[in-house]
Structure 1
Amino acid sequence: MVESDWKFKILEGLPATGDLPIQFSATGMGMHSEGLVSKFWSESSNESWIGNFQRGLNLFDHAVQHPNLVDIIIVAGGDVYIVNPERRTLQDNFGGDFETITAVPDQSLYIFGTSIAFEAVGPKGRTWRSARIALDGIRSLNLEGSDLTGEAYNQDDQWIPFSLDVVSGEFTGGADIWW
């Protein structure tokens, strides 16, 4: 696969002039409201366009090159949009409440985290989704080789250490969720 020359950046808001933005929404709602606005452009073809991504359930916004080196990953309010910038199309959409993103360059992965679990995206798309690791809160994330370590909040109001294998999504430790 040839690496795309498309670039991207998050804008402060919708431009006052120019073409209308392409709308992206996980639910089909909010298509006429300002969300996370991103600009995409190709230096080789001299093309550009604006995308308006409706936000999910929180305030976490981020943008990165997809591990496949063609698509772009936009996180708008915790909702993940995978977009092909050349075709201006949505390739995948998931989440709604992601709060963190951890790059794992050695594995060509991004690990997305909510307050209870994780999901990975690799060159071929989503690769795994972990089981629930916390009752309601994850903190102190640290990548150590092929393990993502941190603390998970449990039902006894304690922070319990965990270690997540970034290749498989399997983990040890964390909250003992019994239901």
Structure 2
Amino acid sequence: MTAEVHLTWPATWSAKVLRTPPLIAPARQFMYPQYIPGEEDAMTRGAMLVEVKPASGGTFLATCARGFESPSLPSGVWSCPNADAMLAVAGGYAYLIHMIEPAKCLHVEQRPVTEVLVAQDAGLILLAGFQNIVALNASGVAWTSARLTWEGITLGEVRDGSLHGTGWNMMDDRDVPFVLDLATGQHTGGGF
């Protein structure tokens, strides 16, 4: 699993994705997801290790369970519209980690995340799934779109406050364009 750090917005932290556990682990360590019924074996799929240096509170190691083993699903770290927050995506599972209280991580409900797109002018990070999109803003989850497709979303370009993409229509067996308003999450078109 190759994962990178993507710094679009200013951040009060720095991070490094590790290939192996550190020889000397920091005193503070957090495992994500925290206990969720049905996810007891999440760590058996492997994990992305991230060494995080926040502005205060000391370095910590974030161990982020991979949601799925597919190499086609995204993994990496993204800065957020909130400078004190970090988005970690590991094998399609998304974790919104706040630097002031990293123990209180939000495990984003979009599972799996199939694509990540930063809409900087709108102040959003878009997380595509198989059927809908979740938008994160400076406060957390801004909105979740309605179902856009039967199965499979392709994120296109952001222009004029809208996301242009396509979604598969089962009846016609083709991708159908949609336009999604980034302010509200409402859409027109799509394959569903």
Q: TM-score, normalised by structure 2?
A: 0.80
User: Matched residue of 2:117: which SS?
Assistant: strand
1:157 to 154, 173, 182: 173
Q: Which residue of 1 aligns with 2:6?
A: none
Which contiguous aligned blocks of 4+ residues in structure 1 show a shift greater than 6 angstroms? none
Q: Which residue of 2 aligns with 1:10?
A: 17
2:53 to 34, 41, 60: 41
Superposed counterparts of 1:7-156, under 5 Å: 7-19=14-26, 21-25=29-33, 27=36, 29-30=40-41, 33=44, 34-42=46-54, 45=56, 47-57=58-68, 58=70, 59-94=73-108, 95-139=110-154, 141-155=156-170, 156=172
* CA drift at 1:81: 0.8
Name the stretch that deviates more: 5-14 or 115-124: 5-14
Deviations 1:86-131 (A, max 9, x none): 4332331122201111111122111110121101111111111001
Deviations 1:16-71 (A, max 9, x none): 433474211263524765401111014x6583121101111353212112211111
Determine what percentage of the aligned residue pairs are the same residue. 22
User: Relative to structure 1, is the Cα distance of residues 127 and 165 closer, same or farther in structure 2, using a 3 angstrom cutoff?
Assistant: same
Looking at structure 2, the residues matched to 171 and 90 of structure 1 have their Cα atoms a distance apart, in angstroms, of: 32
Q: Retained in 2: the 8 A contact 1:77–1:96?
A: no
Q: Retained in 1: the 8 A contact 2:42–2:67?
A: no
Name the stretch that deviates more: 55-64 or 153-162: 55-64
User: Matched residue of 2:104: which SS?
Assistant: strand
Q: Retained in 1: the 8 A contact 2:42–2:66?
A: no
Q: TM-score, normalised by structure 1?
A: 0.85
CA RMSD of the aligned region, Å?
Answer: 2.3
User: Matched residue of 1:106: which SS?
Assistant: helix
Q: Retained in 2: the 8 A contact 1:30–1:54?
A: no
User: Matched residue of 1:47: which SS?
Assistant: coil
By relative contact order (CA 8 Å, sep 6+), the higher-ranking structure is 2
Letter in 2 for 1:129: T
Q: Retained in 2: the 8 A contact 1:24–1:31?
A: no
